[in-house]
Structure 1
Amino acid sequence: MRKTERFFVTESNSLWQLYKTVSFWKVVKNFIIIQMARYTPFFRVKNWLYRTFLRMKVGKQAAFALMVVPDVMFPEKITVGANSVIGYNTTILAHEYLINEYRIGEVIIGKEVMIGANTTILPGVTIGDGAIVSAATLVHKDVPPGAFVGGNPMQLIYTKEEMEKRMFTD
């Protein structure tokens, strides 16, 4: 189970109550910053924008590829460790709005993690240090350190120990 905080709603579906949960102006500001960062080719500029304006925790030399989309409503709940690579067009969500509830959860991406292109990371997950996430993966649960995962739904392909064994026997 993902680590999210649940908030139940009684009126209409939770998305209709969006601006009761987060400020309209915060979303507008975050949207503008995210759009600027998506298209800039300069990693230092992206990381500065994310740290300064979105309050994301971004480690030294983390690299966000072109078109990455961090959560527009709760980016401050995202942590990316040093020397990690977030692949092209990846979406990192810290929220999910459902019919009768909405959920918010931190996303923690460890150090030296490789996230493949077109991946979606759901709220409340931790991706351990040194993990590899294959392209087009739906990360819906925690990823152990050093593991190789992939698919939709995500499945463990190799553990850290299996990965190390393969590297030394090939």
Structure 2
Amino acid sequence: MPLLDWSRIRLRNVERYPVEGPNALWQIYRTVSPWKGVKNFICIQMARYCPHLPTKNWIYRHMLGMKVGKHTAFGLMVMVDAFFPERISIGDNSIIGYNTTILAHEYLIQEYRLGYVKIGSNVMIGANSTILPGVTIGDNAVVSAGCLVHKDVPAGAFVGGNPMQVIRYSEE
């Protein structure tokens, strides 16, 4: 069996920060102010339950620093990154489905990783999906419900599964 050629595999676009001592999550407040975490948590919880889309988008834009396009809609219970929401950008007229999680950080045992999440315009993210840090989802893409988005999604692609796979491309 041949060895895996890592040079041909595109990893997510993340910044890696090694830590020494206890696991990286135990050291989180060396990275992020606890007050920022508390403020963001409260704002995110308000947005998660808010039924009014313009108010929800205002919270994301003005209180969390996210870039949210015109007419983008977040379903009930969407969970955005509590520590680095400013690393999330979403284009115009996109839908983020119920209970989706969008992460811009990963805290592991010996390192933590940060990445920007870029979601294009006219994108549909199905319910209960998870989007990992460092991922770009192109314009007009569709992510099926329950999908783990662990790598970039090309514009116009329909993807699904865990792990995510391209199911088909748009014929537009």
Gaps spanning 5+ residues in structure 1: where? 165-170
Q: Does 1:135 align with 2:145?
A: yes
Q: How high is the TM-score relative to the length of structure 2?
A: 0.93
Q: CA deviation at 1:159?
A: 1.7
Larger helix proportion of the pair: 1
1:70-149 correspondence runs (5 A) = 70-149=80-159
Q: CA deviation at 1:26?
A: 0.2
Is 1:66 the counterpart of 2:76? The answer is yes
2:36 is the counterpart of 1:35: no
Counterpart-to-counterpart distance in 1, 2:16 and 2:39: 25
Listed as ranges, the gaps of 5+ residues in structure 2 are 1-10
Match of 2:8 in 1: none
Shift of 1:160: 2.7
What is the one-letter code of the residue matched to 1:67? M
How far apart, in 1, do the equivalents of 2:49 and 2:14 lie?
A: 30
Deviation at 1:11, TM superposition (A): 1.1
Shift of 1:112: 0.2
1:113-138 CA deviation, whole Å, 9 max, x = no partner? 00000000000000000000000000
What is the RMSD of the two structures over their aligned residues, measured on CA atoms?
Answer: 0.6
Moved >2 Å (runs of 4+): none
Percent of counterpart pairs with the same letter? 69
Q: TM-score, normalised by structure 1?
A: 0.94
Matched residue, 1:24: 34
